[in-house]
Amino acid sequence: MTGHNLAERLGRGLHLAFCIVVFSFLIAPMLVVVPLSFNAEPYFTFSQGMLALDADAYSLRWYRSVIVNEEWRLALTNSLFIGLVAAALATVLGVLAALGLASPAMPGRAFVTGLLISPMITPIIISAAGMFFFYSKLGLSQTHLGLILAHAALGTPFVVITVTATLSGFDQNLARAAASLGAGPFAVFRRVQLPLIAPGVIAGGLFAFAASFDEVVTVLFLGGLEQRTIPRQMWAGIREQISPEILAVATFLVAFVLVLLGVVECLRKRGGQGPVGR
């Protein structure tokens, strides 16, 4: 009996240890950036002072230099502008696509779904190279519009997936009821369907925004100096002038993504309790 118990406990202990190792391997590189960004020295390593928890070894100088730096400010503006517009575009397109795919009259549903999801599965370098040649012909490379379109294409699958999932719990009789009560198709959508699938729409939009916000490959191909986004600027920062500024930006991004995730999680919970997930 005890031998059996011992083996079981040993197994559980090993399992736990394995999880911790994997977890730290995956997460630690991200977490280590946070204290390093407060380094008072222009290095990427912990100084003696930092390890001794000496207050003088810590500083906000890299945050200050990011804020005053024109290039970083341009990058932030670009990231927010391109991200928001691309996410809005992806949300509209994704919701429309999901609504169409949910219709029982839709032919070739699996094929069309696959096509819409493909930007998520295709290696990004292939999409980006394809876009580069195609957009250059149209005069869209090195423009904000080109990047917005590229990021909208990459973000749409997220919206299609989240909205399709929410719609699967949507009672089609509600749309029928609204129609029988005299509502036209647009009123049915705006007053009955949209409020009920809103959690999925917002979650999809946030994912689309996040996809654009941390995207670097298409920006490398399509963006010029005027279109540098934060990830692109970080790329340049590492390659050209090695400065702990990018650690400060990275910390900011981690915090930003955590907030986004929190919002998505809240929406998911509300959706689960609400009428849609019934």
Q: Which residues contact 91 (CB under 8 A, 6 or more apart)?
A: 159, 201, 204, 205, 208
| Cα gap 67→61, rounded to integer Å | 10
Q: How far is the CB of 189 from another protein (least distance, A)?
A: 13
Between 49 and 274, CB nearer to another protein:
274
Residue 123 makes contact with another protein by CB under 8 A:
no
Between 49 and 195, CB nearer to another protein:
195
Residue with token string 């809103």: 198
Between 88 and 174, CB nearer to another protein:
174
Between 153 and 178, CB nearer to another protein:
178
Q: In the window 172-231, what residues touch another protein (CB under 8 A)?
A: 173-174, 176-184, 187, 191-192, 195-196
Residue 171 makes contact with another protein by CB under 8 A:
yes
Residue 57 makes contact with another protein by CB under 8 A:
no
Between 208 and 276, CB nearer to another protein:
276
Residue 277 makes contact with another protein by CB under 8 A:
no
Residues engaged in binding another protein (CB under 8 A): 171, 173-174, 176-184, 187, 191-192, 195-196, 274-275, 278
